[in-house]
Chains A and B, each alone.
Chain A
Amino acid sequence: MNAWHASPDSLTEYVVGRGGPVLAASVEAHLLACATCRGVLADVSGPAADAETERRWAALTAQVDRTPSRPLARLGLATAPLRRAGILALALVVGVPLVVRLILGEQTPVIFLALAPALPGLAVAMAYRTDADPAGEAALATPMAGLRVVSLRALLVTSAGVPVGVLAALVLGGTLAAALAWLMPGIACSALVLLSGTTRLDPRSVAVAAEVAWAGAVAVPAVVATVPAAVVTAEMAGPLTQVGALALAVVCFALTWARRDRISYRRFA
């Protein structure tokens, strides 16, 4: 029989695995030869092991319960109306030109150019809707409510569609100029819709009106006057259209910034 015994603290540390390999080897060697310490071990191992299990379980649940931090995704892409807007915009930009190409063939770049600017405009219009926000009307009473949230949400919806739109234009047989020519008119369209959110006008109606006007300007010469697609595309990609769209976008953004308080503090229900 041993004249000395392992201390209860050492046995507890051994049970919960905190003592390190040297202590573990020493305690195990002693336990093989000491029935008294094996008895003490049986007494301490129950509560100590329970406490350790409790600690590990708490750590695990804390890890599982960690709030998923996806605020950007929630601001932009989470709700059904925004997802629908993104899918509709992509269908317009990619689906319609594809169908046209299958049916008509050569006018695909013109149809694409006519429809693509609707994508960012639609995104902005949807971003204004209260039901596009996961928290609904409650979000309007938060410090971040206003132009910041609307712009961020629209940007996120658009950012998914723009690369797809450019790629689709190239795949559908357009030139790089044609694939990029819609971007500036698209920005102008979205700026116009953004500005409409500071007025009594419904941003969705403004988005549709702007798109119809643009589509008419692009498609009518090609369809009615049978101007070749290459000529229409070159004109839309040319400096006159691009600088004009840039100027419109700058003016609309400036006016929106000046009137941004009307987005944060709505005068209309």
Chain B
Amino acid sequence: MTTATAVHPRHLQVRGLTKRYGQIEAIKDLSLSLSGGLVGLLGPNGAGKTTLLRMLATVLAPDAGSLRLLGLDPSSPRDRVEIRRNLGYLPQSPDLYSRFTPLELVDYVAVLKEHTHRARRQEEVVRVLTAVGLAGVMHRRIRTLSSGQQQRVALAQALLGDPALLVLDEPATGLDPEQRLELRSLLAAGAARGTVVLSTHNTAEVAALCQRVLVMSEGRILFDGTPAALQERADGMVWEDEVPDPAALRSWMTAEGRYRNLGSPPDGASRCAATLDDGYIIVARRHG
């Protein structure tokens, strides 16, 4: 038996990462350094978020560049096993076998995660299912559960063993507002232990949870900073009017029947406070 390799829960480094699918370059020479906490990935569909998360989850190897996850190198078989022992991964499409019960499914993943002691494994499985609020339905078949409950089964398997690195691809999909609040508590606990990287389309999640936000588009990182800094990108660039401004980057009608415009405001425009959504749109559209 070899001795365990040292894990650094808050160390994640990416250098010159590139991934291609045929002629399409999904990730382009991407570099990134994280030191723990909760990091949110924002970006339009096809931005490369899922590809990046799959590489951070050691599911996919890069074509070029280097990765250091928890201070270890996933291209080394020994390091990779050690990373996976300390990793929880929620894929974008979990595709859980629907004839299993949540208990059976999470127990199966616990076996793959080397929880070999049966009694302790059972305790851990029940613990994570309880943590995601599924204790009452753990014996029902997954196919009979709501989409939100199915998503929580997938989340439960990722939480097995309180991993130091949590990689979650759109974890809030299908959850109702109350479940989203519970998810925030779980993720905050994960971030206190190590590093949580999640992708989302919901800027409210990012604002509520993340210490750091990355905006991606076409395989590149367009913005890397705090949610407040992202919001500031739109400061002075939002104004309201009775009609849409054709010169604006984006215009839409508000609930009050006025038009909210984003871009370079004309003289005398009625400026208003920017939101995180505005900041995201400014960053994504300027590079789009």
- Is B97 a contact of A66 with CB atoms below 8 Å? no
A residues 5-45 near B (Cβ < 8 Å) are: none
A-B contact count (CB 8 A): 112
Task: Summarize A's interface: helix, strand, loop or mixed.
Answer: loop
Counting chain A CB atoms within 10 Å of each CB, the highest count among B21, B81, B93, B97 belongs to: B97
Chain A residues with CB under 8 Å of B114's CB are: 143-144
A137 within 8 A of B: yes
- Is B91 a contact of A67 with CB atoms below 8 Å? no
Chain B residues with CB under 8 Å of A137's CB are: 59, 89, 91, 93-95
Chain B residues with CB under 8 Å of A74's CB are: 100, 104, 108, 111
- Is B113 a contact of A143 with CB atoms below 8 Å? yes
- Is B57 a contact of A135 with CB atoms below 8 Å? no
Contacting residue for A135 out of B81, B93, B105, CB 8 A: B105
Chain A residues with CB under 8 Å of B57's CB are: 140-141
- Is A135 a contact of B122 with CB atoms below 8 Å? no
Among the 9-residue stretches A175-183, A237-245, A258-266, the one with 4 or more Cβ atoms under 8 Å from chain B is: A258-266
B residues 107-124 near A (Cβ < 8 Å) are: 107-109, 111-114, 118, 121-122
Bound form: Cα–Cα A80–B84 in Å:
27
- Is B112 a contact of A145 with CB atoms below 8 Å? yes
Contacting residue for B21 out of A70, A71, A269, CB 8 A: A269
Counting chain A CB atoms within 10 Å of each CB, the highest count among B95, B99, B157 belongs to: B95
- Is A135 a contact of B80 with CB atoms below 8 Å? no
Residue of A nearest to B116 (CB): A71
Chain A residues with CB under 8 Å of B21's CB are: 269
Q: How far is the CB of B174 from chain A (nearest CB, A)?
A: 16
Chain A residues with CB under 8 Å of B100's CB are: 74, 78, 134
A2 within 8 A of B: no
Given contact pairs A78-B97, A142-B84, A265 touches B58 in the complex (Cβ within 8 A): yes
- Is A261 a contact of B77 with CB atoms below 8 Å? yes
- Is A130 a contact of B95 with CB atoms below 8 Å? yes
Q: How far is the CB of A38 from chain B (nearest CB, A)?
A: 42
- Is B84 a contact of A145 with CB atoms below 8 Å? yes
Bound form: Cα–Cα A143–B167 in Å:
15
Given contact pairs A143-B85, A267-B61, A138 touches B93 in the complex (Cβ within 8 A): no
Chain A residues with CB under 8 Å of B182's CB are: none
Chain B residues with CB under 8 Å of A134's CB are: 96-97, 100, 105, 108
Bound form: Cα–Cα A135–B90 in Å:
10
Bound form: Cα–Cα A133–B105 in Å:
10
Bound form: Cα–Cα A130–B51 in Å:
16
Counting chain B CB atoms within 10 Å of each CB, the highest count among A79, A133, A143, A149 belongs to: A143
Chain B residues with CB under 8 Å of A68's CB are: 104, 107
Chain B residues with CB under 8 Å of A264's CB are: 77, 80
Given contact pairs A141-B58, A265-B75, A266-B61, A136 touches B95 in the complex (Cβ within 8 A): yes
Bound form: Cα–Cα A206–B118 in Å:
39
B125 within 8 A of A: yes
Residue of B nearest to A149 (CB): B112
Given contact pairs A66-B122, A264-B80, A269-B60, A142 touches B94 in the complex (Cβ within 8 A): no
6 A-B pairs with the lowest CB-CB distances in the bound complex, closest first: A136-B95, A134-B97, A142-B112, A141-B89, A137-B91, A71-B111
Interface residues of A (CB under 8 A from B): 65-71, 74, 78-80, 130-131, 133-145, 149, 261, 264-267, 269
Could you write out 16 A-B pairs with CB less than 8 Å apart? A69-B107, A71-B107, A74-B104, A78-B100, A133-B97, A134-B105, A135-B97, A135-B109, A137-B59, A138-B90, A142-B112, A143-B84, A143-B112, A144-B111, A144-B112, A264-B80
